[in-house]
Structure 1
Amino acid sequence: MNATKILQQGRQPMIRFLGKRTTPSTIDHTPKVHPASPTHSLPESFASYRQKAQQHGPLNQTNKFSTGIGSSSGSSLGPIEAGKGSFFDRSELPQRFQRLSWSQAEIEAVESGGASLFA
């Protein structure tokens, strides 16, 4: 415990700052358009911005089946089917892409840690 106190007392920061810390006397907080903005203009209000904003899709769009997320059960939305060329499980893939079955020699090699292959 005492050794830690001694080490902390002599600590010097390795970074050195020039001059005293000062805050600028005037800071301009007025909203400005971002240089990469596609419209090069600020929105009139937050509400108008929210109407056009998108995050993983439009924010103001409601689902045609419900008025909000979670307001109806999943089964009421209808059956779920994979699109053309999409599969939900590996067993639905064509035979050439399905999992291969293990041979008895492979199972023994795994169980012995591979040592049985060289013995």
Structure 2
Amino acid sequence: MWSLDPISSIFTAECYAIWQALLFFALSSSLACSIVSDSLSVISSIGNNFTKDERISRILNLTSSLENDHKKVRFIWVPSHVNIIGNELADAAAKQAATMAPDEGIPTPLSDYVG
């Protein structure tokens, strides 16, 4: 679990979680992974290869690097709050992480301050 600055947007938090999942996958010996998220806005943004959003660009760059290493990444959107057990567990973990002190090493994008 990681805790972001309270000013961080949900979009930033979802991007950070996906990026961390990709880093975990990069260190694994697995050749394929599915990353499941209830954030339709992030999943849709990942589909835009021409994004100017730094958070999405970081995800796309890491995904491309993994694919160059012959690792397959699939992103899947699931609806939230419909009793999908894995999603409910992830939401509970996110709520718990939000009660922790923010990790100092996690940058908050400027857009979260002005957006």
Place the TM-score, normalised by the shorter chain, in its bin. Answer: under 0.3
- Which structure carries more strand by proportion? 2
Q: Which has the higher contact order (CA 8 A, sep 6+)?
A: 2
- Which structure carries more helix by proportion? 2
Select the structure of larger CA radius of gyration: 1
